[in-house]
């Protein structure tokens, strides 16, 4: 999906919500465990109940890799289901990859060609030649970690390098990479006070913002400085939506939670 198509979907749905599909078999309703593929059954129900309220889904691959080959098959079925039934939905593989160039190309092929995700998250630590192989894929986005939502973000990301904080160095330097128009960045909702500075460096880039809901981040605080001319935000909530109930009504309860965020977004966009 192109950036323009994503923006059009956001405007059509009045929503920049991304729902995280982080499926933990210990947290899903017990009746689903009798299904042949409980992870896919859970995802399908959540997607069918919420697709009209969000523009994106973000499975974190850790939650699938943890279940071995079966988990990977559930991930494959989930992305195929989304691409076949809801082609207007933007998809993010939260895999946080990145390696020497030829290995990065293989990661990119896995997520962009084999699984057909629209985007994948990558870590910037190995630098330009580890990220550019992802950027070479047309109409695909590479979402690079800039300032993450966890406490450990302060261990390195806010430390000074070349006279400025490392996350700023990552943002500024990556703007000069080949095909950098295919870059988006991860910025945690728990770091709302940093958005003003971030927007000075990347005024129009899309930012994937995890940390609303279970991690305590606040939508209004992020939007104050995070919104760009073309909206430029994808706000993710995973546990806060998908685990709203452990009973048979789990999908409709998830939809209620998603609708609360979507309505807040509608109000912000119409201000
Ligand atoms: O800085 C980051 C980068 C990625 N994540 C991921 O986003 C979701 C958040 O889940 P919640 O349940 O809404 O807290 C999860 O997959 C993380 O691994 C992040 O939280 N922060």
95-120 confidence digits (pLDDT tens): 999 999 999 999 999 999 999 999 99
What residue has token string 């870059």? 183
pLDDT in tens, 254-269: 999 999 999 999 999 9
Q: Which atom of ligand 1 is nearest to the CA of 237?
A: 13
Checking if the pLDDT of 271 tops 90, the result is no
Read off the pLDDT of each residue in 17-43 and give the average, rounded to a whole number: 98
Checking if the pLDDT of 79 tops 90, the result is yes
Q: Among 11, 77, 96, 128, which one carries the catalytic annotation?
A: 96
CA distance 98 to 104: 6
- The alpha carbon of 43 and the centre of ligand 1 are apart by a number of angstroms equal to 17
CA distance 268 to 23: 30
Q: Which contacts of 31-39 are long-range, i.e. CB under 8 A and separated by 24 or more positions? A: 31/248, 37/70, 37/73, 37/74, 37/77, 39/64, 39/67, 39/70, 39/71, 39/74, 39/78
Mutate to test the pocket of ligand 1, among 57, 66, 211, 239 (most ligand atoms within 8 A of CB): 211
Read off the pLDDT of each residue in 124-136 and give the average, rounded to a whole number: 98
96 is catalytic: yes
Q: What is the mean pLDDT of the chain?
A: 97
* SS3 (DSSP) at 258: helix
Closest alpha carbon to 13 in 50, 60, 59, 58: 50
pLDDT in tens, 205-229: 999 999 999 999 999 999 999 999 9
Domain locations in the chain as residue ranges: 3-270
Question: For atom 5 of ligand 1, which residue has the closest CA?
Answer: 210
pLDDT in tens, 151-160: 999 999 999 9
Whether the Cβ atoms of residue 135 and residue 179 lie closer than 8 Å to each other: yes
Read off the pLDDT of each residue in 59-74 and give the average, rounded to a whole number: 98
What is the pLDDT, as a whole number, of residue 142?
Answer: 98
CATH number for the domain formed by residue range(s) 3-270 = 3.20.20.70
- The alpha carbon of 122 and the centre of ligand 1 are apart by a number of angstroms equal to 14
What residue has token string 């770091």? 191
């Amino acid at each position: 999906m192109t950036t323009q198509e994503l923006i059009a979907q956001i405007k059509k749905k009045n929503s920049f919500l991304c729902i995280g599909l982080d499926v933990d078999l210990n947290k899903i309703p017990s009746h689903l465990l009798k299904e042949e593929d409980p992870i896919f059954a859970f995802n399908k129900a959540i997607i069918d109940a919420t697709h009209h309220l969000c523009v994106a889904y973000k499975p974190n691959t850790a939650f699938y890799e943890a279940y071995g080959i079966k988990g990977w098959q559930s991930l494959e079925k989930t992305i195929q289901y989304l691409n076949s039934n809801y082609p207007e939905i933007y998809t993010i593989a939260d895999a946080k990859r990145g390696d020497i160039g030829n290995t990065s190309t293989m990661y990119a092929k896995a997520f962009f060609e084999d699984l057909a995700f629209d985007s994948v998250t990558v870590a910037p630590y190995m630098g330009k030649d580890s990220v550019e192989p992802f950027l070479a894929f047309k109409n695909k986005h590479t979402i690079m970690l800039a300032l993450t939502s966890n406490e450990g973000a302060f261990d390195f990301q806010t430390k000074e390098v070349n006279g400025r904080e490392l996350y700023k160095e990552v943002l500024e330097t990556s703007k000069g990479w080949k095909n950098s128009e295919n870059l988006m960045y991860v910025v945690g909702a728990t770091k709302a006070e940093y958005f003003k500075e971030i927007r000075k460096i990347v005024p129009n880039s899309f930012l994937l913002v995890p940390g609303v809901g279970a991690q305590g981040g606040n939508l209004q605080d992020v939007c104050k400085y995070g919104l760009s001319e073309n909206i430029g935000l994808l706000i993710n909530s995973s546990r806060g939506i998908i685990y709203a109930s452990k009973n048979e009504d789990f999908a409709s309860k998830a939809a209620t939670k998603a609708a609360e965020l979507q309505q807040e977004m509608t109000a912000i966009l119409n201000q």
